[in-house]
Amino acid sequence: MDLIKRFLEHLRVEEGMSENTIKSYFHELRRFREWFAEKKWSEVKQRDIQNYLSELIQSGLGARSIKHNLAVLRSFFRFMLEEELLQKDPSELIEFPKLAKRLPRVLSKDEVEKMLKAAEDNSVRGIRDHAILEVLYACGLRVSELTGLRLDQIHLDAGYITAFGKGKKERLVPIGESAISAVRKYLKQSRPFFDRNRNSPYLFLSRDGKALSRVSIFKLIKKTALKAGIKSKVSPHTLRHCFATHLLEGGANLRAVQLMLGHSDIGTTEIYTHLDRKRIQREYDLRHPRSRIRSEK
């Protein structure tokens, strides 16, 4: 079997990667394979990878894409090491390019409230759409986690849902009373209309009784944001950012937010602390005895 195919099968079976991720790995490996077509995989040296990445930079590829290319190559060569097809990883000493941290767009609490109200009406579609927004904001789910949410993952009486994130990692996420109420209303008044006795296992359904697509969720968010008078770009991930930021603003522990978001590295979660400087400064000013110089009367 071709070595790349063996590697991709390893990612699928052993690592539990999604098909979209596997496709991106295949694309990057095929591009690199075409670049050094005259050599065997075992003949690739560190300078070959460096020259390849330099050419990608010269072609105008950004630092994030370069980092992704290097990560793919590193993962592949580590696989070869494990399979005893290499004695040394040629990518091991190559450093990842530094990326500037881009702060995510976050809506204020009032803006989120306007969106939730804008989605609320008593039509079967409106009830469903309102429940979707409530769950996204209440639980901080990725859009893929929402579209894949099944009925057996919802535990409304206990107040939590079971989410499966990247690599199919399972985590428990609390769900608030407002979202619970919206989901109960959807299950009773709206979902039967979409399901029509098809017995779909998925929570949120389309008109044909299938799980809603990612595109449908993006369109819903965009339409609702415009209806709420929000002119900036809003996506499902925006509500995930709002979930994390508003929790931290309310005094939540960073580690707890990391677990709820399903981040494997707390460094990923720390970006939200940059969005909360005003609260941190306010806490310091209120609590530290030497935060201000006080004049004596």
- Residues involved in catalysis: 142, 166, 237, 240, 263, 272
Q: Which residues pair with 154 in a beta bridge?
A: 161
Q: Are 154 and 161 in contact (CB under 8 A)?
A: yes
CB-hemisphere CA count at 13 Å for 23?
A: 3
Separation CA 116–CA 139 (nearest Å): 14
Residue 13: which residues within 8 A CB-CB, separation 6 or more?
Answer: none
Cβ-based burial of 242 (10 A; exposed 0-12, middle 13-18, buried ≥19): buried
- Token duo for residue 278: 């005003």
Separation CA 111–CA 39 (nearest Å): 56
- Alpha helices, DSSP H only, in 36-123? 46-58, 63-82, 109-118
Q: Are 80 and 44 in contact (CB under 8 A)?
A: no
Q: Are 227 and 121 in contact (CB under 8 A)?
A: no
288's enclosing H/E stretch is none
